[in-house]
């Protein structure tokens, strides 16, 4: 196959590209330029798309002897990921931009361009696996399924839970069967200078990791009230967008709770610019209503047993799910805490990713 | 196809760099085998000095200037920096009140970036000369700028020929206008050397930048021709080897190679231009025949090698991204350029095309195809064979990524 290897300049995508090449594919390395003003040098372990990253990716491609290009997707990234991120926060939700990027950029804008240019697929350095399962109903009798990586500490199937069957048909994740330390060892063995490069983490377009400050720079400071569930004003804040359900730190409340209990953000109300705080108990829920459902294969029919995961490296909770068009109702077997609307719930069947949805609302069932 | 079908790709990027002449390689190798620092006073030093000075005299004679006006540099970029920053700082340090630069907006980054640096860091002022739709800086535009700013202007800088779209500027007219107003005139002639007759003595420019590797000479060596009345402030300080304007041990092998390259470029210019014009016209006409929506940037008249560089073809393909075309042609064994500035390899629409009034979307679909001494009809054929398929796929790719 002719494959585009998306190369960020990090160690994972470097090994992914070399594995694709060794598997006999024709590989072209592509670095996505996602920032409109690329910083010249990496300032910390965070971030991506610096000139240094592009250079690192190019060095690996040169070593592999494969062509290498930089594709400018900054405008698409800005529209589909960054502006969406800001709009979601402004609306009181907490989005995960990595899922959005995989859905809209890596396996949409990049994949579509690659296909149009005559490529067959895109390979990335995500830790996840694709299994091929016999399925008489599938186009070639084979269905590609998305599964967790063997290295659970690095598993990135959560951020890929937005890929549909068509996207999975064209995706390769060559690292899913290996642990991260082994990938680093392999990179060193291959003589890649990026073998010891630190992992990137957090949100790539917020270089210093200060999400609240970054949002304030875009949305402006909006002074508002911090209230308890009775409506009593306890303090003030610089914009409800800077607060996430479940958050405890950085509230700056001057009046302690009467009973001394710790207080958490339990709700943000963008329309009145209020942040509501309450006890940990109020954070508990066991029902999720999700929208923007994405299925990594056929949509489940009826009520199905699944494992539900609500954050990138969170725990998987046994649950039942019922898919209804764009919506999903998930009922967890036990209560969990502190999940904000806008986060994604990814559903698993064993190691297989069933699909995902964006959390629109949470609630508690009457049963305990 | 990826990884190269053909054993010998068609190389159509000679404006980026071209292959070194065998005679140049011979001269460089010969000098590299010899010992001696041209600044040393003993026998070995004198031998090296002799090579340097004979090279200088040879280059001066080929260009019609005096040997003392030839300053060896590391290449076009350094020459441009010396001319622009050195001249501006000369006025700044002497408090002459000339703090303004008159510069065309379609210069190479080796001129633009020093200008922008002076503006940002030293509060220099700049009057930009905008080109017409064909990329020409008219003498009317310069006259207007001089009328307004002549008493404050430290330098006029307009390139001899544009590196992207190939437009040749009326440098003799522009230089004479600047002279009339008492403002020194600099021209970046890196692309012009070898393609156009470069009779510097007649043109009357005060500062001219030249580079070795664009004409089959070594990389890393060039010349700033600086009139004897020009005293740009040095940018690097040290031994003061070159007229106290430029320091650093003279690179005898590169300088010897450069002299050979300049001699051959000048001697063969007329014949070479004729060959290049023939190939260029076949390339452009062939592309237009394949797809009549293609637009040629800059002036083009079949047979003409004076208004457009003989070896430059610049095409804009509607509905395509240059980087897609570049990849598809590369995969088909045709090597060319989008002609745009690449920072970190990120394709940006060309500032030259934007200045010429080309829409940003159209500016992204550009291809620069440049010929050289080794170019043949087969190279043009290879391009014309690969182009239709590449355009088709590139159009689909732009459709897929949602850019209109």
What are the tens digits of pLDDT across the range B16-57?
A: 999 999 999 999 999 999 999 999 999 999 999 999 999 999
Instruction: Kindly provide the residue ranges of all beta strands, DSSP E only, lying in B22-151, ordered along the sequence.
Output: 70-73, 100-104, 125-129
Chain B residue with Cα closest to A35: B346
With CB atoms and an 8 Å threshold, state whether A38 touches B345: no
Q: Are residues A302 and A247 in the same domain?
A: no
Q: What is the pLDDT along chain A (368 residues), one digit of tens a residue?
A: 999 999 999 999 999 999 999 999 999 999 998 876 554 444 444 445 577 888 899 999 999 999 999 888 888 999 999 999 999 999 989 999 999 999 999 999 999 999 999 999 999 999 999 999 888 887 788 899 999 999 999 999 999 999 999 999 999 999 999 999 999 999 999 999 898 888 877 788 887 788 888 998 999 888 999 999 888 898 899 888 888 888 888 888 877 777 778 889 998 998 899 999 998 888 889 999 999 999 999 999 999 999 999 998 889 999 999 999 999 999 999 999 888 899 999 999 999 999 999 999 999 986 54
Which pLDDT belongs to residue A281? 86
A58 lies in the same domain as A183: yes
Please answer whether residues A269 and A224 qualify as being in contact, where contact means their C-beta atoms are separated by less than 8 angstroms: no
The residue of chain A nearest to residue B327, with distances taken between CA atoms, is: A69
If you ran DSSP here, which 8-state letter would residue B192 be given? T
What's the pLDDT score for residue A246? 87
Question: What span, in angstroms and rounded, lies between the C-alpha atoms of B272 and B270?
Answer: 5
Query: Which chain A residue is nearest to residue B402, measuring alpha carbons?
Result: A109
Contact assignment for A112 to B401 by CB distance below 8 Å: yes
Give the separation between CA A200 and CA B148, rounded to whole angstroms: 54
Distance, CA of B345 to CA of A68 (rounded, Å): 10
ipTM score over 0.85, yes or no: no
Which residues make Cβ contacts (< 8 Å) with residue A239, sequence separation at least 6?
A: A215, A216, A219, A220, A221, A222, A223, A224, A273
A168 to chain B, minimum CA–CA distance in Å?
A: 18
More confident residue, A202 or B191: B191
Residue A48 annotated among the catalytic residues of the structure: no
- Using a CB-CB cut-off of 8 Å, the residues of chain B touching A54 are 344-346
For residues A268 and A287, membership in a common domain is answered with no
Reported as a pLDDT band with limits 50, 70 and 90, residue B2 is: very low
Q: Which whole-number Å values give the CA distances from B20 to B23, B52, B247, B277, in the listed order? A: 8, 20, 26, 21
**Does the beta-carbon distance from A117 to B343 stay under 8 Å?**
no
My answer on whether A32 and A51 are in the same domain is: yes
Tokens encoding A338: 């502190």
Residue A37 placed within a domain: yes
Arithmetic mean of pLDDT, B308-323: 95
Could you list the residue range(s) of the whole structural domain that residue A248 is in?
Answer: 221-281
- E-strand ranges in B5-152 read 10-11, 70-73, 100-104, 125-129
The answer to whether B324 contacts A113, with C-beta atoms less than 8 Å apart, is yes
* Same domain, residue pair A260 and A273: yes
A234 is a domain residue = yes
Q: SS3 letters for A264-332? A: EEEEEECCCCEEEEECHHHHCEEEEEEEEEEECCCCCCCEEEEEEECCCCCCCEEEEEEEECCEEEEEE
pLDDT at B228 over 90: yes
Asked if A158 contacts A176 with a C-beta cutoff of 8 angstroms, the reply is no
Q: Over pLDDT 70: what percentage of chain B?
A: 95
CA dist A173 and B170 (Å) reads 57
Can you give the pLDDT at residue B404? 41
Domain-embedded: residue A298: yes
- CA-nearest residue of chain A to B398? A113
Chain B residues inside the 8 Å CB shell of A112 = 397, 400-401
Residues A34 and A182 in one domain: yes
* pTM (predicted TM-score): 0.87
Q: What are B114-130's pLDDT values in tens digits?
A: 999 999 999 999 999 99
3 state DSSP class of B20? coil
* In a domain? residue A55: yes
Domain count, chain A: 3
- B chain contacts of residue A76, beta-carbon cutoff 8 Å: 401-402
Tell me if A72 and B323 make a contact (CB, 8 A cut-off): yes
For residue B326, list chain A residues with Cβ-Cβ distance below 8 A: 69
Listed in sequence order, the residues at least 6 apart from A210 whose beta carbon sits closer than 8 Å to its beta carbon are: none
The residue among B354, B327, B350 whose CA lies nearest residue B339 is B350
Residue A121 located in a structural domain: yes
* A155 inside domain: no
For residue B139, the tally of other CB atoms under 10 A from its CB is 16
Q: Are residues A247 and A357 in the same domain?
A: no
- Token pair belonging to B131: 């080109």
Distance CA A145, CA A143 (A): 6
- Interface size A-B, in CB pairs within 8 Å, comes to 76
CB A105 within 8 A of CB A81: yes
- Same structural domain, A186 and A47: yes
* CATH number of the domain enclosing A259: 2.30.30.280
Mean pLDDT score, B236-244: 92
pLDDT for the residue numbered A36 = 64
Residue B185 has pLDDT above 90, yes or no: yes
Burial class of A226 by CB neighbour count within 10 A (0 to 12, 13 to 18, 19+)? buried
In a 13 Å sphere around the CA of A86, the CA atoms on its Cβ side amount to 16
Angle of helix A51-64 relative to helix A11-22, nearest 10 degrees, comes to: 20
Q: What is the CATH number of the domain that holds A349?
A: 2.40.30.10
Q: Identify from B344, B347, B389, B393 which residue to disrupt to test chain A contact, counting A C-beta atoms within 10 A and taking the largest count.
A: B344
Judge: domain B10-19+269-400, CATH 3.90.1150.10.
yes
Task: For chain B, give every domain's residue range.
Answer: 10-19+269-400, 22-264
Mark yes or no for CB contact B397/A116 under 8 Å. yes
CATH 3.40.640.10 fits B22-264, yes or no: yes
Nearest Cα of chain A lies from the Cα of B384 at a distance, in angstroms, of 18
Q: Is the Cα torsion angle B32, B38, B44, B50 positive or negative in sign?
A: positive
| CA-angle at B120, arms to B117 and B126, nearest 5° | 80
What helix, strand, coil percent values describe chain B, rounded to 5?
45, 15, 40
* Cα dihedral B157/B158/B161/B165 (nearest 10): 120
Find the helix or strand (DSSP H, E) in which A363 lies: strand A352-363
Tokens 């080109």 belong to B131
């Amino acid at each position: 196959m002719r494959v585009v290897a998306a190369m960020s300049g990090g160690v994972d995508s470097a090994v992914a590209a070399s594995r694709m090449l060794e598997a006999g594919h024709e590989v072209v390395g592509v670095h996505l330029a996602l920032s409109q003003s690329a910083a010249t040098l990496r300032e910390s372990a965070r971030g991506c798309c610096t000139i240094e990253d592009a250079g690192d990716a190019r060095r690996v491609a040169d070593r592999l002897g494969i062509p290498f290009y930089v594709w400018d997707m900054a405008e698409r990234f800005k529209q589909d990921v960054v502006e969406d991120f800001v709009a979601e926060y402004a609306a009181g939700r907490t989005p995960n931009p990595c899922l959005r990027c995989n859905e809209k950029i890596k396996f949409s804008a990049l994949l579509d361009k690659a296909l149009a240019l005559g490529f067959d697929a895109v390979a990335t350095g995500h830790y996840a696996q694709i299994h091929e399962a016999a399925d008489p109903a599938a186009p070639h009798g084979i269905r590609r399924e998305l599964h967790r990586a063997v290295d659970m500490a690095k598993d990135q199937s959560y951020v890929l839970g937005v890929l549909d069957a068509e996207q999975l048909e064209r995706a390769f994740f060559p690292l899913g069967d290996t642990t991260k330390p082994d990938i680093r060892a392999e990179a060193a063995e291959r003589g890649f200078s990026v073998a010891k490069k630190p992992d990137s983490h957090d949100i790539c377009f917020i270089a210093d990791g200060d999400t609240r400050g970054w949002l304030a720079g875009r949305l402006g400071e909006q002074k508002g009230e911090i209230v308890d569930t009775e409506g009593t004003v306890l303090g003030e804040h610089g914009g409800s967008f800077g607060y996430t359900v479940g958050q405890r730190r950085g509230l700056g409340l001057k009046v302690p709770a009467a009973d001394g209990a710790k207080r958490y953000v339990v709700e943000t109300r963008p329309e009145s610019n209020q942040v509501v705080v309450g006890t940990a108990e109020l954070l508990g829920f066991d029902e999720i209503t999700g929208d923007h459902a994405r299925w990594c294969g056929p949509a489940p029919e009826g009520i199905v047993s699944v494992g539900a995961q609500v954050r990138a490296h969170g725990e998987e909770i046994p649950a039942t799910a019922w898919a209804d068009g764009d919506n999903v109702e998930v009922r967890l077997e036990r209560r969990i805490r502190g999940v904000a609307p806008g986060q994604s719930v990814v559903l698993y069947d064993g190691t297989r990713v069933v699909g995902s949805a964006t959390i629109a609302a949470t609630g508690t069932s009457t049963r305990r | 196809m990826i990884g190269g079908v053909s054993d010998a790709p068609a190389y159509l990027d000679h404006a980026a760099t071209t292959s070194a002449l065998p005679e140049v390689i011979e001269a460089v190798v010969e000098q590299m085998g010899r010992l001696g620092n041209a600044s040393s006073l003993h026998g070995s030093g004198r031998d090296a000095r002799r090579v340097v000075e004979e090279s200088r005299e040879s280059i001066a004679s080929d260009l019609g200037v005096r040997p003392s006006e030839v300053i060896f540099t590391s290449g076009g970029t350094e020459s441009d920096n010396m001319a622009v920053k050195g001249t501006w700082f000369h006025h700044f340090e002497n408090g002459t009140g000339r703090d303004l630069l008159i510069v065309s907006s379609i210069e190479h980054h080796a001129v633009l970036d020093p200008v922008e640096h002076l503006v940002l860091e030293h509060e220099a002022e700049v009057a930009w000369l905008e080109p017409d739709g064909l990329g020409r800086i008219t003498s009317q535009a310069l006259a207007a700028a001089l009328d307004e700013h002549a008493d404050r202007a430290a330098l006029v800088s307009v390139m001899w020929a544009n590196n992207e779209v190939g437009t040749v500027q009326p440098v003799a007219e522009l230089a004479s206008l600047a002279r009339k107003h008492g403002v020194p005139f600099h021209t970046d002639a890196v692309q012009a050397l070898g393609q156009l007759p470069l009779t510097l003595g007649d043109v009357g420019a005060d500062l001219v930048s030249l580079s070795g590797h664009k004409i089959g000479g070594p990389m890393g060596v060039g010349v700033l021709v600086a009139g004897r009345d020009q005293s740009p402030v040095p940018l690097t300080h040290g031994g003061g080897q070159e007229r106290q304007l430029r320091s650093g041990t003279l690179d005898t092998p590169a300088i010897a190679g450069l002299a050979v390259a300049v001699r051959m470029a000048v001697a063969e210019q007329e014949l070479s231009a004729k060959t290049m014009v023939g190939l260029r016209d076949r390339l452009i006409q062939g592309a237009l025949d394949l797809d009549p929506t293609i637009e040629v940037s800059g002036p083009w008249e079949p047979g003409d090698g004076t208004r457009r560089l003989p070896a430059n073809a610049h095409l804009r393909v509607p509905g395509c991204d240059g980087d897609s075309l570049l990849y598809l042609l590369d995969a088909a064994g045709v090597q060319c350029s989008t002609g745009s500035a690449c920072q970190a390899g990120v394709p940006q629409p060309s500032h030259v095309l934007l200045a010429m009034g080309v829409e940003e979307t159209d500016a992204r679909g550009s291809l620069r195809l440049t010929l050289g001494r080794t170019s043949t009809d087969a190279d043009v054929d290879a391009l014309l064979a690969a182009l239709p398929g590449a355009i088709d796929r590139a159009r689909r790719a732009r459709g897929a990524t949602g850019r209109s």
